[in-house]
Amino acid sequence: MLHRTITGALAFIMAALLLLSAAPAALAAPGQTELDLTEDEQTYLDSAGTLRVGYVQDRTPVSFTGADGTLAGISRYIFDHIQRATGLTFEYVPLPSGPVTYDYLMEQQLDLVTSVEYNKANQGARGILISEPYFTGRKVIVAREDLTYSYEANLSVAVSSGSQTLRQVLAATYPNFTLEDYDTITDCFDAVRTGDADLMILNQYVVEYWLTKPIYEHLKVIPVMGLDDQLSFSAVVPFDANGEPVGEDGYTLISILNKAIAAMPEDLEGSYTIQAVIDNRYTYTMADILYRYRYAFTVLAVSLVLIAGLLLLLYRQHIRSVKAQADARAKNQFLSTMSHEIRTPLNGLIGLNYLMERKGGDQVQMARYLEQSTATAKYLLSLVSDILDMSMLNKGDVELDRKSTDMRSLLSTVEAIEHSAMADKGLAFAVDVDLACPQLEADAVRVQQVLLNLLDNAQKFTPAGGSVTLTARQDPPAEGHVVTRIQVADTGRGMSESFRRSIFDAFSQERDSVSKGDQGVGLGLAICHRLAKMMGGELTFTSEQGKGSTFVFSFPADVARPAERRADTGAGGCAPRPRVLVAEDNDLNGEIMLELLAENGFEADRAADGRQALDMFGASQPGRYGVVLMDLLMPNMDGFAAASAIRALDRPDGASVRIIACSANCTAEDRSRAAASGMDGFLSKPVDVDELLAALEK
């Protein structure tokens, strides 16, 4: 794209210089030019009525339909010049796309056709009289950026079906090229973009106009040596039944046009070209803006979907809360909280969308807006996650995944995550860890979830200049068991007595001036309290208003053996990254997953459903795929059945390939079914990139 931008800028600068140096009268509608006309030519001019002129519509800025619904561009400037020079008047008629036959021209009673590619070989053909060129430019090649171009290569060329002269020239000059007909120039561009054709050849000004369109951003321009683009007028001459021309009017008209073209000042054609390019620069459409910023709009769309799902979940949770508590005031408080927590990010998303529509050309601003909308979408996702966690805890669908966990490493990770937020707010953050048995059999994800929630609350409710301290200690171990106690203390405003009584209730909140509007929906502590109980521990607290709060999270766990260090494999201990088979029926999710994998160095293929995933794996060479990312709900064959079928294949890698579930269905039942069908891991959607990469690196 850089070379195209530089080339376009240089071309525009040169055009402007030429325009400034042109005689002022060049574009100022000069008076009638004196032509050396014969008596027959003068008689023709005196008796000629308005001539009907057919023109090609898709050659901006050379020849196209302008805003006033008639011919515009370089060809129109030339016709206006001829009208001033000869006194002829013209009526302009758009021609249909594709090849135009002689019979069609006669039926439409056309006298002339403009923007005809100059070819002396066609002079004298039945019904065709061609003028001398009124425009001389150059043709260029348009190809994809990844194409290695060679004149000797066997390449396919997209040719507009109306460009028969170009077809003749290419067939004679490059017999190794395969010429493919398309109805319009746009069809030719699309064929090159999608790979149906390798390249196309077209007028340089037309190419520069269309390559401004964002959808063609991956196309490049290659100069062509010795292939000029000359355009002429063609007079339509009637013939009798014996194939003889009827009358001399056509020959006389072409002669007059040739004299008018010859009398044109040398710099006038260049001035007309520059003016047409400047006046008819490509204008972005809404479709162009949507394509260029498709990822930003995708984030917005996903956010709106999350909001809709969040509203539904919150409504259902609200109904349960109202029925359980039978408290009208709790209902009103809940609705007020939901309105605030949803409207605030929604207002931001709508505002960002409004700004993106109006600042489409500002790349720096667009990057900032995209970053802000992504952060807002993540906040909405966290609300949905809290609602889902509470719902699953209420139904008993949460199962702990206890495995060997290094508590020192986990606490170090928690410290790193919270450090920036603490520093940004101006809080002193200290971590004091003294563990006799750091290796425990524990659910690391859930332990980290509790600690991050406690630290987030401490950070939000502690004013600048205060402090937050995390302390980790253990009781003396007994018979392979140990109780770990992790304390989070802050110097914030503390809690009122009334709020302390309901602190672990769902949707319980206490608003204050320190936290402002960034409090959430009041589910975090309720979730932490229930998780602590699931682990066999407890979550307790003390708080004094105006002096701060202290939370203590304690849980028992078996002491685990220290993890053994795995030996390095391969030279330098660096194993090759596995090729990934992505089974995903949603086109957008599939495209995003393939791009994420490619950006992180993984080669990947996509299957559109479970049946296709099974077929692709079964047809591949053993060992080709090291990992299968398997969506669960797909047409034809779901992910559970596809995983079971892959495990049952009679090939060595059927049992060894790593199959990871990747689904928005992430209940305990879904995880159990995935494991039962032979899957090795589970990633929930929206996919966290770090978790995805960690799973692939195993």
Which phi-psi region, left, alpha or beta, contains residue 173 (left: φ > 0; alpha: ψ -120 to 50)? alpha
CA torsion sign for 179, 183, 189, 193 is: negative
Q: 695 with 683: CB under 8 angstroms?
A: yes
Separation of alpha carbons 234 and 226, rounded Å: 24
Token digits of residue 377: 């979408």
Omega within 30 of 0 (cis) for the link into 622: no
Helix residue ranges per DSSP H, 140-180: 164-173
Separation of alpha carbons 86 and 32, rounded Å: 7
Question: Of 57, 131, 50, which Cα lies nearest the Cα of 100?
Answer: 57
Unique residue bearing structure tokens 């998780």: 531
Q: 615 with 566: CB under 8 angstroms?
A: no
Separation of alpha carbons 66 and 60, rounded Å: 9
Cβ neighbours, 10 Å, residue 642: 29
pLDDT at 555: 94
- Grouping H, G, I as helix, E, B as strand and the rest as coil, residue 626 is coil
State residue 431 phi and psi, 5-degree precision: -125, 125
Separation of alpha carbons 444 and 437, rounded Å: 15
Token digits of residue 174: 């490059």
Q: Give the residues across from 53 on adjacent strands.
A: 92, 112
Unique residue bearing structure tokens 């068991």: 481
Q: What is the mean pLDDT of each run of 10 residues along the chain (698 residues)?
A: 44 44 40 75 89 88 87 89 90 84 81 81 65 85 86 86 76 85 88 91 86 87 78 81 72 89 81 77 77 78 84 80 60 57 63 69 72 65 62 68 88 85 91 92 88 89 93 91 94 80 64 47 77 90 88 92 51 65 88 88 92 93 92 91 93 91 79 89 81 82
Question: Of 633, 639, 651, which Cα lies nearest the Cα of 581?
Answer: 639
The answer, as to whether pTM is greater than 0.75, is no
pLDDT at 97: 77
Token digits of residue 639: 């992910």
